[in-house]
């Protein structure tokens, strides 16, 4: 994981995207997340919206933008469940903020770095999920280590492929 010096960090470009991409890609991710399990039930282990939050937050390298993007995508995710609005909102906000902060400090274009970063973030998302359900909502939520570990690995691998595809949508300046 290559740490960038201060000068390089300043000079580092902030990747930009067409506004339509910023709107359509999160919507597409949410659409696929709710539609695909009808045909392939095992797709429920994927968390495409979180991967999209991580990608755009890392690319924009702005913690505030990452937080707000996480807020919007998280609320959209919550809206299609029957649970209170804000569960995924909180998780995605925190992940967006952390991803943007990390994007400022390390080179995240490397596939190996992306794999490790995605794995850590997806595991953190699962932990936050259980914490919020238990502590804030008083709901019964069990923690299955193996299941969450496998989920994080699968999402991390998918994230590497997805990020490579999304890299093509960057604006060249």
Partner 1 sequence: MESFLSRYRNPLILLAVVLAQMLGLAVQVRRTATGGKGAQQTRLIRYWVITLISPAERIFLLAGHGVSNTWHGYLDLRHVRAQNQQLHAELDRMRVEEASLAENARQDMRLQKLFAFQQHYVSKTVAAHVIGTSGTELSRVLYIDKGSADGIHTDMPVITPDGVVGKTRDVFPHESQVLEINDPTSGLGVILTQTRLRGILRGNTAGQTEIIDILPDERIQHGETVVTSGGDQVYPPGLPVGAVERVVNDPERNPYVAVLIRPAVSLSRLDEVLVITETQSTMPSTMQQDIATSEQKAADILAQRLPGVNVTQPLGPDGKPLDPNAPPPPVRPPASLHPDRFTPGATPPAADLTPGAEDSNRVFVPQPPTSTSTNGAAAPQSTQKQTTNPHQEPQP
**Alpha-carbon separation of residue 17 from 57, 60, 167, 168, 171 (angstroms):** 12, 9, 10, 10, 5
Question: Other C-beta atoms within 10 Å of 10: how many?
Answer: 9
- Write the binding mask 115 to 154 for partner 1: x where contact by CB under 8 A, - elsewhere: --------------x--xx--xxxxxxx-x----------
The answer to whether 2 contacts partner 1 (rule: CB under 8 A) is no
The answer to whether 23 contacts partner 1 (rule: CB under 8 A) is no
- CB-CB contact of 156 with 122 (8 Å): yes
User: What spatial distance separates the first Cα and last Cα of the chain, rounded to whole Å?
Assistant: 27
Which of 1, 12, 85, 150 is in the footprint of partner 1 by CB under 8 A? 85
Residues in contact with partner 1 by the rule CB under 8 A: 27, 30-31, 33-35, 37-39, 41, 44-45, 63-64, 67-68, 71, 75-77, 79-87, 89-90, 93-94, 97, 101, 129, 132-133, 136-142, 144
């Amino acid at each position: 994981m290559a740490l960038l010096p201060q000068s390089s960090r300043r000079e580092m470009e902030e990747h930009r995207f067409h506004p339509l991409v910023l709107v359509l890609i999160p919507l597409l991710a949410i659409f696929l997340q709710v539609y695909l399990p009808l045909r392939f039930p095992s797709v429920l282990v994927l968390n495409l919206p979180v991967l999209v939050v991580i990608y755009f937050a890392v690319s924009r390298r702005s913690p505030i933008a990452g937080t707000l993007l996480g807020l919007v995508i998280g609320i959209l995710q919550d809206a299609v469940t029957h649970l209170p609005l804000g569960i995924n909102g909180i998780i995605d906000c925190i992940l967006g903020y952390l991803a943007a902060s990390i994007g400022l400090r390390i080179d995240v274009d490397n596939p190996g770095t992306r794999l490790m970063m995605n794995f850590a973030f997806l595991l953190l998302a699962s932990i936050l999920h259980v914490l919020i359900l238990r502590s804030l909502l008083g709901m019964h939520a069990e923690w299955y280590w193996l299941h969450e570990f496998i989920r994080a690995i699968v999402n991390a691998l998918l994230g590497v492929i997805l990020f490579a595809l999304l890299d093509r949508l960057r604006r060249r300046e």
